[in-house]
Structure 1
Amino acid sequence: MKILRPAILCFLLLYHAVIEAQPQAIKWDLGPQKGLVFEITNKEAQKLLTRAKSDEIFKSLLHTVLDTFEVSTGWKERPEKGHFIMASIYKNKMRCEYTSVFPYQVFLLKEFGALALQVLDLEGNIREDATVRLAGNKIQIDTLTKTYRMSNESFTGKKRFATVEFAGFRSVFNIQKHEVPEWQNDYYHNRDDGPDFYSYMITDKNRYKPNEKVRFKSYALSGAKMPLRKDLEVWLLQNGKSKKVGIVKPQRPGSYASELHLHDSLKLILDKSYTLQLRERNSRIVASCYFKYEDYELFGNQLAIELKKEKQFHPADNELTIKATDVNGLMLKDGTAYVVVTTHTIRETFDPIVILPDTVLNKKIVLDADAPTTVAIPSALFGKTNTAYNVSVVVINSENQRVEKSLGAIHYFSEYEIVTSFSNDSIIYQLQ
C-alpha cells in the first residue's frame, strides 16, 4: 500500500490539471508571421500589369528575394524605387501582392482632342527627359507646354497602355480616349469659310455703359480638335459694320482672356447690341458673343445684410454678413461699406457703473468682390449689460451710388433662454 500512494496522488494531480486546462482554447497561427519581398524588373512588371492571367505570371516572378516583412504590419522600410512582389502564406495558400515605389510623379491632363502627360520628379521639377510610349509608340515632348502630347486622331481604339520611364523606373498606365462632345450651340460652324472651330466665348456681364470695360474669356479648338496656339484678332460688329479693336494672345493652349475699353473713340451708339468676335488673321471667325451698349443707371444695386443671431449671449460674438450686388446680380467690384453699431436701449446692467457710448462700432470696409463680406460684432462692445442695439450698413460704389439697410439685435450679458428640442418621444428643455 505504501508503494501505491504516490501513484494515486500523481494520477489525481494530473486529472486535476486536465480539468483545469479544459476551458483554455489553444490558438494556432494560420501562417508564418513573416513574408518575403521579391524584386522584379521593369519588363516583368509591365507584363504583370498588362496581362489578364496574373496568377500564372506571379509564379515566374518569385526569383530574387530582396527583404522580409511582418505580415501583421506590412513592409515598412522600402527602397527609393522599384517593382516588388510581397509573398506570404495563409493556411495552405500563398498570397502574392504587387507593389511599387515611384521616383517621380505622372499627371494625366484631361484636354480636349489630345492625350497630354506631364512628368515631375520628387522635387517638383518638370522633366522633359522621360521616355513616354503609347502602345509601344514613342510620344514626343511639346516644349511649349512641357507635356508629352498626342492628338486623338493618332490614338486608335478606346483604351491603350502607356508607359513612362525615368530614372531607371518604368510605370504603366491604362489610358482611355477622351472624345470632344458634339456641342450644338457652343461653337461657331461655317462650312463655306474654312475649317470648323469648336469654341465658346463669354463676357463678365450682358450690358455695359460708356467707358466701362468688357472683360471676356474664350476657349477654342481647331477643326482637328486641337487647342489653338496662335494670336487672334478682336473685332467689334454692329449692323454689318466691323472694326478691329485689338489682339489677344493665348494664356495657355486654347485659352484666351482680355478686356475691351468702351471709350469714345470707338464711336459706339447707345441702346444698340454689339457682337464681339475672335478671328484668325485671314478673317476666319473663331468665336463670338454679344453685349448691349446703353447708358443705364445703376440704381438697381442691391444690398442684403444679415445677423447670425438676433439674440447675442455673452461672451459670443455676433456676425454681420454683407452682400452687395449690381443690376446684373453680380457682386459689386468697387463697393465700400460703412458699418455703424449704435445702442438703442440699455435694459439691465450688472455693474454699479456702466458707461456705453451711443456708437459702439464705426467701421469702414472694402467689400470682397467675389463673396459676401462678414464683420464681427464682439460682446465686449456692450460691457456687462443687456442692451438692444441697431446695425446700419451703407454701401457706396466708385460712382458714389449709395444703398443702405439696418437691422436690430439684443445683447445679453446675463439671461437664460429655454430652448426646446425633441428626442425620440420626449421633449427636452435646455437653458441657454
Structure 2
Amino acid sequence: MRRRGPRSAYDRIVVVGAGRAGVAAAEELRRAGFRGDVRVLGGEPDAPYDRPACSKGLLTGHRRPSDVRMPVLDGADITWHLGRRAVHLDPDRRIVSTDTDERFRYDGLVIATGATAALPPDWPVGEPGLHTLRTLADAWALRGALRDADRVVVIGAGLTGCEVASAVRTLARDAVLVDAKPYVLGRAVGETVGRLVTREVARDGVQLRLGRRVTGLSRRRRGWLVELDDGDEIHADLVVTTTGERPDVDWLDGTGLDLTDGVLCDESLRVLGAAGIVAAGTVARWPNLRYSARPVRCGQWIAALQQGRAAAHTLLAGDQETPPVTVVPRFWSDQYGLRIQVCGELPRHAEVTVTELRPGRRDVARAGVLVGYHDEGRLVGLVAVNAPHAFTSVTRSMLASASVTVAAPVSVPVVSEPVAVPEPVAAPAAPRRRLAAAS
C-alpha cells in the first residue's frame, strides 16, 4: 500500500537513468509524498552503483562491485527496469521505448541518462586491450586485464585518467600518461594546481607525455602501438582512454528538444519545449543562477544528487512557480598521496590567490596548498591539496552564502599571484620492454 501524500497531476512517473541523479529523483518523489507509480529504467544490468568508484578502489582490488552499490531508500516502492536502454521518446504520446522493444507510458518524466564516452571515430573500439572507463563492467574488465599487464598507456590526464594512472602505479605497473595540455587535471583544478600536481605525478614514477596528441592507435600481435604527434611511439600491453564524455541524448533525436550539449532546461530543470519533463545530472544543461544565466552542464556526483532531488520537486509542482535550482560544484580525489578537493567554479578571468600551508617547501602540493578564485571580490572557487581542514572551514562559508567575500582563505600568508611553479619534469623513463609488432 502506497504512502499517503499530496495529490499530484501524475499517476505514473518514469525516470530514465539509474545513476546518482535518477535514483535521487525517484527517492525524492516518495519523500515528497507522491503516491503514484514510479518506474526507473537503467541501461545497465547492474543495480545502481556509485560511478566515481570505477576509477578508484575497484581497479586496485580494495573494493568489489558489491562494495559500491548505491543505497536506496528503504520502502520506497520503486519499480526497477534494469538492462533496458532508452532508444526513443515520443513526447506527444508520452511514451519511452527501449532496446528491449518495450514501451513505457508516463505522465511525468525525469531524464537522467548521464553521459557516454567520447572517442575518435577511427579508433579500434572493441579490440582486446583497449579500454574505456564509464561503467561498472568497464572497471571490472580493466581490473582483470591489469593483472597480466606490464605497461599501461592512459590517454587523457583529466580526473579519471590521473586516478587510473595512480591505480596502475599502486599495482607496480608502468604507467604512461598522454594529454594535449602541458599539465595534468587542467579542467578539473585549473592551471596553478595542475602544474603543482604534475610534479608529484612525475615523482610517483608515471611517464608523462604532456603537450602531445595521439595520431595513431593500432593493435599489434603482443599489445598496442600508440603514435604521438612528435613522432614518438609507445608500446603497451593495455590502453585506457579517458578522453572525455558527451551527454547521452541520442535517444532524444527527433523530439524537437534543444540537445546542444545536453538537454536544455530552465532554471528549475524543466525541459524546454516539452510538458511534464524535467532533467537532472550530467545530461541537463540549465542556468545555474548562483554563477550565471548561461546554461551549463555539471558532471559532479554531489551536484547530480542535488539536481535529482530538486527535479523531483519541480516535476510535482507542475505549472506552479518553483525556485531556481542552484548548486555549488564540488568533488574530491585521492591520488599519488594527495587529497585533492574542489568547491565552486574556477573561471579563467578570476583573480587567483595561493596559500601555502608550509611556505618554503619545494613540494608545495604535498605540503598543503589552497588556491582561491575571486570574481569581483567574491570567492567563487577553491582548490585544496592536502589541506582538508582549511578546505572544510572555507567551503562551509561558501555553501552557506550565495555571496562570500573573503580576503584570504585561512589566516596564513597569501600570495596575490600564483606561486612560481617550474615546468613539469617528466619522470625518468623506465627501461622499456619493446613489444614485437606484427608485420
Question: TM-score range with shorter-chain normalisation?
Answer: under 0.3
Structure ID, larger Rg: 1
Which has a greater percent of helix?
2
TM-score by length of 1: 0.23
TM-score by length of 2: 0.23
Compare relative contact order (CA 8 Å, sep 6+) and give the higher one, 1 or 2.
2
